Amino acid sequence: MQLTDSALKVLSALLEARTGQRLSVGRQWRIEIALVPVLKRHGISDCDALVSQLSASTGSLLADETVDALLNNETYFFRDQAAFAKLPQLMETIARGRTKDRKIRVWSAGCSTGQEIYSLAMQFCENEALWNGWTIDLLGTDISRTAIDQAREGNYSQFEIQRGLSTRHMLRWFEQRDDRWIIDDRLRQMVNFRRHNVLDTPPLGPFDLVLCRNVLLYFPAENRSRALANAARILAPDGALMLGAGETVLGYTDAFEILPGVSSVYRLAPATSQTNHKAA
């Protein structure tokens, strides 16, 4: 199956219009492979035929499936151990300012199939001494319908469960059913999942922690700025933003400053923090 330039253009434009992501040259070769299951499912012979069908109905289920297939949903439990090692201390520090209502809210923006936010849920549950009596409200959002459906089910393959999880975590938090691993109800009930585009109006804040890891990578500069501006709008004045190890706010927004000594974690710059404080 040879991807023609015109098909590549249409598919790239569809992806960018729906998600804000721009396909780098390095990712273009993946398109043909990624679309094979969609072509098979719909009995479509090749990408040109797919593009013809899409032109006839851009708002269709076929368009949704095509966009989902082109997204990179790569994720795994406790991805970037160094980042997860920082989170308990970070949450404990934020909690010192929440002793009245004893409530913590976290948003995982671009949560993919849920491993990131469920890893955090495990950390909360495993520190009963600190979090007992607290309301821990976790939200996972992603633009991909299939990713959100899987996250909501908390249903993982043998391959997915082995990535990043210790045997102890596997046995404590998952039940094996045939060849799938199903997450414990306690964790599932801690997290709400829904479809959302990080470039649209953000969910209602304030959030104490926003995770937006390995999402900005695929955006052009203007969309990185927009996603970061959205995160700044709903972060609590003393909250924190965590990006992926290869991502930064520098050059995209002045709303954040680096949290001293903690790489990839940002707090609101004083002017933004004051604005959010007034709005709270």
Ligand X SMILES: C[S@@+](CC[C@H](N)C(=O)[O-])C[C@H]1O[C@@H](n2cnc3c(N)ncnc32)[C@H](O)[C@@H]1O
Q: Which of 21, 66, 264, 272 binds ligand X (CB under 6 A)?
A: 21
Is residue 139 part of the contact set for ligand X (CB under 6 A)? no
Is residue 114 part of the contact set for ligand X (CB under 6 A)? no
Is residue 147 part of the contact set for ligand X (CB under 6 A)? yes
User: How far are the Cα atoms of 10, 73, 146, 158, 201 from residue 196, in angstroms, in the given order?
Assistant: 23, 15, 13, 28, 9
Burial track 43-64 (b if 16+ CB lie within 10 A, e otherwise): ebeebeebbeebeeeeeeebbe
Is residue 264 part of the contact set for ligand X (CB under 6 A)? no
Structure tokens at 76: 């795994």
Q: How far is the CB of 218 from ligand X (least distance, A)?
A: 6
Strand, helix or coil for residue 261:
coil
Q: Which of 17, 74, 130, 176 binds ligand X (CB under 6 A)?
A: 74
Between residue 54 and residue 73, which ones bind ligand X under the rule CB under 6 A? 71-73
The CA distance from 3 to 36, in Å, is 12
* Residue closer to ligand X (CB basis): 47 or 117: 117
Part in contact with ligand X (CB under 6 A); list of ranges 14-22, 25-33, 49-57, 88-96: 14-22
Helix axes 81-95, 115-125, angle to 10 degrees: 50
The CA distance from 68 to 146, in Å, is 7
Part in contact with ligand X (CB under 6 A); list of ranges 178-186, 196-204, 235-243, 245-253: 196-204
Which residues contribute to the site for ligand X (CB under 6 A)? 19-21, 71-75, 79, 110-112, 116, 142-144, 147, 197-199, 213-215, 244
